[in-house]
Amino acid sequence: MPMLVHRFTKRMQMNQTRRDVVRQGSIVALLMAAGLLRPGDVCAADWNPAAFEIKKLEDLVTLLGGEPATASDAIAINAPDIAENGAVVPITVSSAVPGTDAISILVEKNPNVLAAAFEIPAGTLPEINTRVKMAQTSNLFVLVRAGGKYFYAAKEIKITLGGCGG
C-alpha cells in the first residue's frame, strides 16, 4: 500500500509540472494574441553574421570595435589535451576578469573560426560549459570582454578522429 501511495504522489507532482507548463504557455499565447508580446521579444538576441566569417582573433576584436586583446591568466580553459572525437569536444571556460560581460570561443583551424559567443548578464557567474566541433588539431582561443577591453587565453587541443572535416 505505501508503494501505491508513493506512485500516486509522484504522478500528482508530475501532473502539477505539466499544468504549470500549459498555464505558462497559455499566458504567453494570450499576451501575443493581445499584441502585448511580439515574437521578436521572445527570440534570441540579434547576432552578428560577419563575426562568424572572421579567420583570426585580431580581426574579431577589430570587428567588435576593441583594441588588441591582452593575454590573461584570469581566464581558465578546462578542455581535454587530446580529444578522441573532434565532432564533440567538451569545454568549460571561466573568467575571473572583473566585469566580464561577454565570452567568445574560437577554434583557429575551423572553417568558421568563431565557434560560439555568449553575453554574460551583470551579476551572473562568467562560466560557460559547452561542446564545440573541431576540424583538426588546433588552438582554441577564449576571448573575454570586460570593461570595454578584451582579454584572451589559448589552449592547443589535439584531435584524433574527424570533426568538422569528416
Q: How many residues does the chain have?
A: 166
Question: pTM higher than 0.75, yes or no?
Answer: no
Cβ atoms 146, 99 nearer than 8 A: yes
Cβ atoms 116, 132 nearer than 8 A: yes
Q: Provide the residue ranges of all domains of the chain, joining segments of one domain with +.
A: 2-42, 49-159
Residues 34-57 pLDDT 10s = 666 566 555 555 556 777 777 777
CA distance linking residue 154 with residue 166, whole number of Å: 24
> Which among 143, 39, 120, 137 has a CA at the least distance from the CA of 84?
137
Looking at domain 49-159, its CATH superfamily turns out to be: SoxY domain (2.60.40.2470)
Share of the chain above pLDDT 70, in %: 70
